[in-house]
Amino acid sequence: MVDLYKEAIHELKRAFLEIGNFVLVMSSSQGLHDLTQIKTTPKNGSRLIKEEDEPLSPMARLFHEPGSNVYIITMMGCKTRINPDVIKQNLVHSLLRHPRFTSLQVVDKPTGSIIWVPTKVNIENHVIVPKLEPNIAFPDKFVEDYISNLSKSPIENSKPLWDLHLLDIKTGNDEGTGVFRFHHSLGDGMSLMTLLLACTRKSSDLDALPTLPVNKDSSYIKFTSSYWSVLEMFWNSFVAVLMFVFTVFFLKDTETPLKGPLGVENRPRRFVHKSVNLADIKAVKNAMDVTLNDVVLGVTQAGLSRYLNRRYSESENANGDHSKENEAIPKNIRLRATFFFNLRPTTRIDAHVETMKRGKISRWGNQIGYVLLPFTIGLKNDPLDYVKEAKAVIDRKKASLEPLYSYFFVHFVLKFFGVKAVGKLNHKVFFNTTLWFTNVPGPQEEVTFYGHEITYIAPSCYGQPNALMIHVMSYMDKLTFVISADEETIPDPQRLCDDLEESLQIIKTSALATESVKNK
């Protein structure tokens, strides 16, 4: 009987993946007469569309729709001064050998579809090195403002949609800052991050690629063999489908100081980050016998609660006392995150190295699903409750088909109703929730980017219809919370970073104290 259940579950998983791939292939032939506004013409005007030019995938086309026109931005701190010439020379022999980074996105007038058209790339048009004053008064603020200004304008579509900004200015512990910017149509966050890491090497061994942590708990979905588990999986999936449908039509999150207005995707963003010790996260994990993701989500829930309590206290002018004992948060707040899952079975840096060597694509594109993740907002008497509640919620999400469902549903709507319908559907779902949340594992050891030792890696996004995005990434012995915030809705994102850090310390102290009592 157990073997039958295992076989049934295996076939169910395979069927969902095959259906998704089938719809993806079938929908790639659909025209995109709606996207002529991103029409691109090569500078020499002589490039003709060839039969072998590949059309954009349905998911890539989706990222040109209003409300989905998203850019991925990745900030990197350098220990040494940046040498732009060295970086340019190396990019020519690495990133510029990847077909997606040397292709224009051109509208084929006869069909209305958008296709990848290979073009000759001038590296000078993609690597921007601004001339900076050597004695800027507030260099950290200058770099933050510079990165924020990037969110105010798109990359010119007369060239491949990526660029790299090199800021040769000392900030804090860094001698320089590099800022990569990619249009999301080039690939999903995991593809782009692993491609970026394929351009790095270990500081301890300049011939070795960095290693990513192996996390057995990182699977986007749990398949088990018991009869009850199968029923639980289908029940959780059914509830998730209902919540998804309700969210499309009428179920909105509570209007809080974190929820942005309609059209927030067109406003500039502020990017800040805060690094904490990964050892502190692991200490809570071991003390509570949970996963790293459980701890991170618990800390996020606690940090959001602290931040909202302060904002509500300030608005109510509650005698200036913003302490834990004076809770100003309204009851029964509905606050959800669109939590993104990578649907690839493995993440291999060496595969991207081979892609850049051969100049041919393998396992590329946007392969992501998402779930609607509710946060319980409020001040807790026991800080460990934040982690316990987060674990209960994420366990239900893992024991469901929700990530596969969202991936399949997007392709289903795309196939039968077109890219504009999918864009409106996604915009509705995203806008009716409060924030985006995602995490990416980073290298376990220090890496160099073409000879430049990296102190931190901080990826994020802009262009999404939410005022807030929280991205979490591990690197060496640190874990970094990266905040992307609409400046008008969240004017003090650095305070939210501080709240996340303080929440971790409070949860860690409580977890270690509880563990100590148990061991007596």
Between CA 294 and CA 296, with CA 474 as vertex, the angle to 5 degrees is: 20
Q: Are 92 and 121 in contact (CB under 8 A)?
A: no
The two tokens of residue 480 are 């970094």
Please tell me which residue in 126, 183, 184, 427 is annotated as part of the active site.
Answer: 184
Q: How many Cβ atoms sit within 10 Å of the Cβ of residue 279?
A: 11
| Residues in Cβ contact with 262 at an 8 Å cutoff, skipping those fewer than 6 apart | 431, 465
Between CA 187 and CA 472, with CA 410 as vertex, the angle to 5 degrees is: 50
Q: In degrees to the nearest 10, what's the CA dihedral of 220, 243, 420, 150?
A: -60
Q: Which residues of 431-451 are buried (b: 16+ CB within 10 A; e: fewer)?
A: bbbbbbbbbbbbbbebbbbbe
The two tokens of residue 148 are 């924020």
Q: Are 290 and 387 in contact (CB under 8 A)?
A: yes
C-alpha closest to that of 158 among 36, 42, 56: 42
Q: Are 470 and 478 in contact (CB under 8 A)?
A: no
Distance of alpha carbon 195 from alpha carbon 187, whole angstroms = 10
C-alpha closest to that of 117 among 128, 102, 136: 102
Q: How many Cβ atoms sit within 10 Å of the Cβ of residue 214?
A: 10
Looking at the chain, the number of H-run helices and the number of E-run strands are 13, 16
Distance of alpha carbon 463 from alpha carbon 431, whole angstroms = 12
**Annotated catalytic residue 184:** yes
User: What are the catalytic residues?
Assistant: 184
